[in-house]
Structure 1
Amino acid sequence: MPHTPQIRIPATYMRGGTSKGVFFRLDDLPAAARVAGAARDRLLLRVIGSPDPYGKQIDGMGGATSSTSKTVIVSASARPGHDVDYLFGQVSIDKPFVDWSGNCGNLSSAVGSFAIRAGLVARERIPQDGMAVVRIWQANINKTIVAHVPVTNGEVQETGDFELDGVTFPAAEVQLEFMDPAADEEGGGGSMFPTGNLIDALEVPGLGTIQATMINAGIPTIFVNAEDVGYTGAELQDAINGDVRALAMFETIRAHGAVRMGLIKDTGEAAGRQHTPKVAFVAPALDYTASSGKAVAGKDIDLVVRALSMGKLHHAMMGTAAVAIGTAAAVPGTLVNLAAGGGKPDAVRFGHPSGTLRVGAQAEQVNGEWRVTKAVMSRSARVLMEGWVRVPGDAC
């Protein structure tokens, strides 16, 4: 019986922030996968090892968590003022689909260095020593990200002393600027607050009516108060990810919030849109112990936030959700802002399961509508492995 041999595709396995993913140059993909569609999705599912009913992704590059079941496609940009186009695919672990509905803020920090190494950034734009400014078009959400990538002796610098909670070892700092990050096309036709309210009364079956701030900035996110869902805001992964009823409650919140945000027409569509929106719960600053055993002092942070990604509590914080947190904190009257003590802060430091993170945002009111001009945060990134990824030839 004849068998289809494996093919090999140039790829780079990278960590970006607190996520990992497989990075490709668009031109290196098989011809059928260079365009959006079923062939591309089949290929990426096979690369990552999905769908896997065992939930382990043993036969692929995925790590069986939302943070490690990710793919990135990068190409030279024809868009004026941009160096590269960046497309992110969140691969479902146990279902046969790739979610293209949002960005990954963590992997955004690796796109600039990947693009430089891949020869996608003009050589004259890369200093011998200093900071390379890589202008990225985020193709999932049609937004600009500016990455400041350190360069030493003409090469991307990956090592350094910048420490990021949720990442074990220090590395070089990469600063990201998310320009005008409020979504344009979904949830209210471009309004940062798609319902028109800073706080909504959200009816959730089995829970009742709770307060929610629903925002489109970085990634569509539904914020609720920790106490309204029975938590303190100091929880770690095991407190929620092992609780089937808790996960079901958060998925119900997510589904009903997505309808209110205009992202889906009815709650039945939520299962086919796992990546967005995110759900997060917030509370005023308090003392707690992070997953590493590190003590986090309430006096050193402005608030605590816990967020769910792909149906599980995230081990740290998604980069795009951090943008949503910083933006919502900058707008007086949101649940995030109130948890942080009110006012109009330009930046907040929040506590998450792995430690703390600082994110800044510049928000302003224009003709009665809130808009954010830029959100800024620092991450780190490095190459873990490069070469070829192999998949059966009939994968796409």
Structure 2
Amino acid sequence: MAHAPQIKIPATYMRGGTSKGVFFRLRDLPAAAQAPGAARDALLLRVIGSPDPYGKQIDGMGAATSSTSKTVIVAKSAKPDHDVDYLFGQVSIDTAFVDWSGNCGNLSAAVGSFAIGGGLVDADRVPRDGVAVVRIWQANIGKTIIAHVPVANGEVRETGDFELDGVTFPAAEVRLEFMDPAAEEEGAGGSMFPTGKLVDDLEVPGVGTFKATMINAGIPTIFLDAEALGYKGTELQDAVNGDPKALAMFETIRAHGALRMGLIKHVDEAAKRQHTPKVAFVAKPAGYVSSSGKPVAAGDVDLLVRALSMGKLHHAMMGTAAVAIGTAAAIPGTLVNLAAGGQARGAVRFGHPSGTLRVGAEATLVDGEWRVTKAIMSRSARVLMEGWVRVPGDAF
């Protein structure tokens, strides 16, 4: 029996924020995978090592968590006033599925660095020393991200003293601006609050009815009150991920929330939309010990947030969910804002399982509807490995 030899594809393995992923230039992909479709999905699944019934992704570049089962495709932008187009694919670990429905805010921090290093940003836009401003078109959600990338001697500076909870070592700070982050294409006519309310009663058959803030900003997110779920908001991963009943409850809540937000037409469709919406629960400030052993005092934070991604409690916080947190915190009356004390605020520092994170948002009330012009946060990024990934030639 003949077997197809492996092929090699130029790729870069990068950390962005608290996530890792395999980055490709669109032009480097095999011709069949340069357009959306089954061939592209099959290739990326094989690169990452999915679907893996063992849940380990041993035979690929993934690392068996939602934070590390990620792919990115970058190309020079066809959009006016943008440098690059950025497409994100969240690869399922145990099923043959790539979710293209949302962005990854953490890996967004690495896109500008990758684009500069990959020759996708015009040389005259990259200073010899200082900060390069990379204008990114986020193709999954049709939004603009502005990345402020430090540069030294004409090359991306990756090392520095910026510390990010959830990342072991310090690095150079990359400031991100998520422009007009409220979704336009999702949910009820593109409203930031697709149900028209800041707080809803979300009825979940077989589980209960919960107060919920459902928002489209950064990524569609369902915010719940921790106490109503039986939590304190200080939980670490094992408290939720080691409880199959809790995970099933959150997935049921997520499915019915997606239906209420207009993201799906039938609750069963949620299984094919694993990346969005996210589910998070919030609580007022309290002290706890983070997953690294670092104590977080109640006075260190404005509120506590725990969020689930791809069916599991996240080890830190998804960048896009942080945008949703900052946006919701800026709007008086949301569950996030109430947990943070209820007053209007332009930024919050929230506690997550790995520590704390600060995020800001500019919100205004226009003709009775809330608008957010941008959300701002800092991350870091670093190239971990570059060269080629190899996959069997008949994998796609």
- What is the Cα deviation at residue 395 of structure 1? 1.4
In 1, Cα distance between equivalents of 2:209 and 2:386: 50
> Could you tell me how far apart the structure 2 residues matched to 1:163 and 1:290 are?
15
Give the TM-score taking structure 1 as reference length.
Answer: 1.00
SS in 1 for 2:254: helix
Amino acid of the structure 1 residue aligned with 2:97: F
Deviation at 1:234, TM superposition (A): 0.2
Q: Deviations over 1:232-260 (max 9, x none)?
A: 00000000001000000000110000000
Trace 1:1-396 onto structure 2 (pairs within 5 A).
1-396=1-396
What is the CA–CA distance in structure 2 between the aligned matches of 1:41 and 1:102, rounded to whole Å? 15
In structure 1, give the amino acid aligned to 2:165: D
* AA of the residue aligned to 2:368: G
SS at match of 1:379: strand
RMSD (CA atoms): 0.5
For residues 101 and 370 of structure 1, what CA distance do their matches in structure 2 show? 24
Q: Which amino acid aligns with 2:111?
A: V
> Secondary structure, in 3 states, of the residue corresponding to 2:248?
helix
Shift, 1:266, TM fit: 1.3
Tell me, in whole angstroms, the C-alpha distance in 2 between the residues paired with 1:205 and 1:233: 24
| Cα offset, 1:58, TM superposition | 0.2
Q: Give the letter for the 1:295 counterpart.
A: P
One-letter amino acid of the structure 1 residue matched with residue 58 of structure 2 = I
Identity %: 82
Q: Indicate the SS of the match to 1:387.
A: strand
Unaligned regions of 5+ residues in structure 2, if any? none
SS of the residue corresponding to residue 64 of structure 2 reads coil
Distance 2:285 2:81 in 1: 40
**Equivalent position SS for 1:101:** coil
TM-score under structure 2 length normalisation: 1.00
Cα distance in structure 2, aligned partners of 1:210 and 1:39: 41
Which secondary structure does the structure 1 equivalent of 2:86 belong to?
strand
AA aligned opposite 2:170:
P
Quote the offset at 1:267 in angstroms.
Answer: 1.0
Aligned residues: 396
Segments of 4+ moved more than 3 angstroms: none
How big is the shift at 1:343? 1.1
Partner amino acid, structure 2, of 1:297: A
Give SS of 2:238's match: helix
- Distance in 2, matches of 1:360 and 1:156, equals 25
Render the CA deviation track for 1:183-221: whole Å, top value 9, x for unaligned. Answer: 010111110000000000001123321100000000000
Any idea what SS the aligned residue of 1:47 has? helix
In 1, the alpha carbon distance for the partners of 2:267 and 2:290 equals 34
CA distance in 1, matches of 2:207, 2:295: 32
**Structure 1 residue 352 displacement after superposition:** 0.1
Alpha-carbon separation, structure 1, partners of 2:228 and 2:207: 9
**TM-superposition CA deviations, 1:62-112 (whole Å, max 9, x none):** 000000000000000011000000000000000001000000000000000
Q: Which amino acid aligns with 2:208?
A: G
Amino acid in the other structure paired with 1:188: A
- Mark the runs of 5 or more structure 1 residues left unpaired by the alignment: none
